[in-house]
Amino acid sequence: MILYDATTIHTAPFPDTAEGRGMRSFLVPLVQHGPGPWFEDRASMFVLGLDDLLIPLSVTDGTFGNSVLHSVYERFIGSQRKAIRTGNWKPLAGFAASSALWGVGAVMKTLRLDKAVQVDCWPSLRNAGADLTADQARRLTAFLTARFPDHAPYFLAVNPVTHAALLNHLQAQGYAFSYMTHTRMMLPFEPELERRVRENRRRDARLLEPSGYRVVDARELPGCAPRLAELYRRLHREKYATNPPISVTYMEEMLAGSLMDVRALVKDGRVDMFYATHVVNGVMYSPVSGYDTSLPQEVGLYRLINNLLMRDAQARGVTLETGGGADPFKTLRGDRPVPRYNAVYLRHLPPWRHTPWRLAMKVGNEQLLPFSRKRLHAVDGEANVVGFDRVPEVFAPTLPTPREATARQAQELTELEQDLARTEALAGSERVRHLGALRKRLEDEQLPPARVAPLLERWEHLSHAPQADKKEKRKAQRAVRAELARRLLETATTVGDTTVVCHHLGDGLDFQPRTLAEQLRKGTGSIAVALTSTREGTLELVTALAPPLVERGLEARRLLEQMVPPGVASGEGGAELAWAEAVLPDDDVSAVLERARAVLHTRLSIPT
């Protein structure tokens, strides 16, 4: 193992990848200058090289006044007292609770609670911690207790959804645990998402277009770092006082680096909101964000930022961690609460140094945990609050892990592709029924638009395919009729000035014979048509006469009646077009057409 400090951090073997370069841009200035320029904190920063891992460490020497990023005292005492002052506590209850915390905190300060080494300290980032193996957890603990014998190594805010294995490995090494607070997570895909959740998400998604805001890459806005710092301060320092300070320098380094994507909402040349995103271990988190709190609530900036984060996470197929706070709002969007724990190793320290940590555990496990459970039960319902009963003996994910959640979404997309392929083989009402069910699934807002777009194109093709097939079939039939009409006219006879077509069309036509007869009747000046065909043992007959012949007293229906023996067929139609069906022996078919020719020759030979 190698410990890199401010003088050697430039030699640390960051991977030559996009992620590795992002890590370098974030950690090198943090180690070289400490957290002061970014967070106004006092701590020494190191990076520990363990096998192929680079793990940031934050070392404090018992001084106080740091933010929650680098102070256990501030996590358990300072931020809780601030929350009491800004919360809806009754005056007497708030005073009593704050006073009790002050007394506990005084003991913690005296016994140097914050003389500690925070492991995997990525200030402002979550879920960036390495998922150590059991052997790595053992070796790391041995190294830290030897290198910093007067400090307590601890892991901050670890949750069992992303790091259950790590928590169990630390427990096996003798770490003690305290509940810290809860966070919230939104899975990329849930098959049985509540209707009210879907409606709220869709309503939020409709806010952006009429708002007039454009979502842009903040790196395209030179000199915007001071505005971003101002927006962060307005939201996270003035409205929510428990969050750490973040400077303009941090914003500048964030924009210059590549570890985070930064988006800004711009309107009339003014940035009114921004958010940064970071993805690691299959979870996306917004390390820093802010918006102009002076704008009316009706503008919906908080709803906008929440929906944009959700859409980004779903587009990537990852779980979204939205953090604690605003629980009533987030539960209506499908976020689920997840407990977080601190893990500390004390066995190498004298007993008196255990006391402040035992007090922190007492505050966390006996005060904060029951309080969180009661509040979350009221907001989310007991069935949706899992893992808040006690610190477990064996840690297990309280939600599907990020890998499982991503696999669910991928499986849904795969099944949609397979169902579309199966639907291609269907026809008629069965195809229509399957297409209706598929459309509903394709419109699920949980699916990434880029992946759904080609599936929707296939769906559109399939839904219009029956109509296209019918058009192609009609087009082919028209071509067949046109060719048949041409041949019939070539072989037709002439009586006087009239073309006579008498022909048997054969068996199993793809079209009605009267369609062809009508086409012939309208295609030339004076024409008389008598056609027959057979279909499943039935003889179909049709006759057609051009208007000049009707004017001379001929009738298509009368001609049809003269073609067959009396009572054999009952014709339909009129003077210009008539049709009928009859059942006759095969040798009578030719006789039918001969009678038609005889009648026509007789009538057409008579001078007008």
pLDDT at res. 582: 85
pLDDT at res. 237: 87
At 89, the pLDDT band (50, 70, 90 cuts) reads confident
Q: Where are the beta strands (DSSP E) in 198-269?
A: 214-217, 261-267
Instruction: Indicate if 412 and 524 belong to the same structural domain.
Output: no
Are 56 and 122 within 8 A, CB to CB? yes
Instruction: Indicate if 512 and 601 belong to the same structural domain.
Output: yes
Domain's final residue, options 295, 317, 339: 317
pLDDT at res. 150: 95
What are the CA-CA distances from residue 330 to residues 201, 310, 341 (Å)? 10, 11, 21
Are 224 and 254 within 8 A, CB to CB? no
Instruction: Indicate if 555 and 595 belong to the same structural domain.
Output: yes
Lowest mean pLDDT among 372-376, 395-399, 408-412, 458-462: 458-462
Mean pLDDT of 102-119: 86
pLDDT at res. 87: 67
Reported pTM:
0.75
Amino acid at 543: T
Mean pLDDT of 112-117: 90
Q: Which residues are registered as beta bridge partners of 581? A: 540
Instruction: Indicate if 290 and 202 belong to the same structural domain.
Output: yes
pLDDT at res. 467: 57
Residue 279: its H or E element: strand 270-280
Q: Does residue 497 fall inside a structural domain?
A: yes
pLDDT at res. 283: 93
Question: In 3D, which of 523, 533, 585, 575 has the Cα closest to residue 554?
Answer: 575
Q: Does residue 91 fall inside a structural domain?
A: no
Are 272 and 216 within 8 A, CB to CB? no
Range of the domain at 228: 194-317
Residue 343: its H or E element: strand 336-344
Rounded to the nearest 10°, the torsion over CA 60, 66, 71, 73 is 120
pLDDT at 586 over 70: no
Q: Of 226-230, 365-369, 419-423, which one has max mean pLDDT? A: 226-230
Q: Does residue 109 fall inside a structural domain?
A: no
Instruction: Indicate if 431 and 546 belong to the same structural domain.
Output: no
Instruction: Indicate if 459 and 496 belong to the same structural domain.
Output: no
426 three-state secondary structure? coil
Record the tokens describing residue 567, joined without a space.
């009572």
Instruction: Indicate if 506 and 577 belong to the same structural domain.
Output: yes
- The C-alpha atoms of residue 119 and residue 109 are separated, in whole angstroms, by 21
pLDDT at res. 142: 97
Mean pLDDT, the chain, whole residue set: 89
At 340, the pLDDT band (50, 70, 90 cuts) reads very high
Are 54 and 14 within 8 A, CB to CB? yes
| 336-344 vs 152-158, strand pairing mode | antiparallel
**CA angle at residue 436 from 433 to 438, to 5 degrees?**
110
- Please tell me the total count of domains within the chain: 3
- The C-alpha atoms of residue 223 and residue 255 are separated, in whole angstroms, by 10
What CATH number did the domain enclosing 540 receive? 3.10.310.40
Q: Which residues are registered as beta bridge partners of 49? A: 2, 54
Q: Does residue 290 fall inside a structural domain?
A: yes
Instruction: Indicate if 514 and 425 belong to the same structural domain.
Output: no
At 338, the pLDDT band (50, 70, 90 cuts) reads very high
Contacts 24+ apart (CB under 8 A), 216-223: 216/263, 216/264, 216/265, 216/266, 217/261, 217/262, 217/263, 217/264, 218/255, 218/262, 218/263, 218/264, 218/271, 218/274, 219/255, 219/262, 221/264, 221/266, 221/271
- The C-alpha atoms of residue 471 and residue 466 are separated, in whole angstroms, by 9
Instruction: Indicate if 200 and 267 belong to the same structural domain.
Output: yes
| 527-535 vs 498-507, strand pairing mode | parallel
pLDDT at 219 over 70: yes
Q: Give the pLDDT confidence of 143-183 residue by residue, as tens digits.
A: 999 999 999 999 999 999 999 999 999 999 999 999 988 99
pLDDT at res. 524: 67
pLDDT at res. 587: 62
Domain's final residue, options 268, 302, 317: 317
For the chain, percent of residues with pLDDT exceeding 90: 56
What CATH number did the domain enclosing 198 receive? 3.40.630.30
Q: Does residue 355 fall inside a structural domain?
A: no
**90 or 176: whose pLDDT is higher?**
176
- The C-alpha atoms of residue 180 and residue 73 are separated, in whole angstroms, by 12
Q: Give the pLDDT confidence of 439-469 residue by residue, as tens digits.
A: 888 888 888 888 889 999 988 888 876 555 5
Record the tokens describing residue 399, joined without a space.
């939600």
Amino acid at 208: L
Residue 416: its H or E element: helix 402-424
Can you give 486-542 as a three-state secondary structure string? HHHHHCCEEECCEEEEEEEEEECCCCCHHHHHHHHHHHCCCEEEEEEEEECCEEEEE
* 237 φψ region: left (φ > 0), alpha (ψ -120 to 50), beta (else): alpha
Amino acid at 169: H
The residue behind tokens 């199993």 is 508
Q: Does residue 389 fall inside a structural domain?
A: no
Q: Does residue 425 fall inside a structural domain?
A: yes
pLDDT at res. 240: 80
Q: Give the pLDDT confidence of 5-18 residue by residue, as tens digits.
A: 999 999 999 999 98
- The C-alpha atoms of residue 543 and residue 108 are separated, in whole angstroms, by 108
Instruction: Indicate if 232 and 313 belong to the same structural domain.
Output: yes
- The C-alpha atoms of residue 584 and residue 218 are separated, in whole angstroms, by 85
Instruction: Indicate if 456 and 495 belong to the same structural domain.
Output: no
Q: Give the pLDDT confidence of 342-356 residue by residue, as tens digits.
A: 999 999 999 999 999
Q: DSSP secondary-structure letter at 298?
A: G
**63 or 414: whose pLDDT is higher?**
414
pLDDT at res. 466: 59
Are 188 and 179 within 8 A, CB to CB? no
Instruction: Indicate if 457 and 503 belong to the same structural domain.
Output: no
If you write DSSP's letter for every residue of 6-60 in order, what string do you get? TTTGGGS---SSHHHHHHHHHHHHHHHH-SHHHHS---EEEEEEETTEEEEEEEE
Lowest mean pLDDT among 119-123, 364-368, 414-418, 475-479: 475-479
- The C-alpha atoms of residue 167 and residue 155 are separated, in whole angstroms, by 9
* 143 φψ region: left (φ > 0), alpha (ψ -120 to 50), beta (else): alpha
Contacts of 441 (CB under 8 A, 6+ apart): 412, 416
Q: Does residue 257 fall inside a structural domain?
A: yes
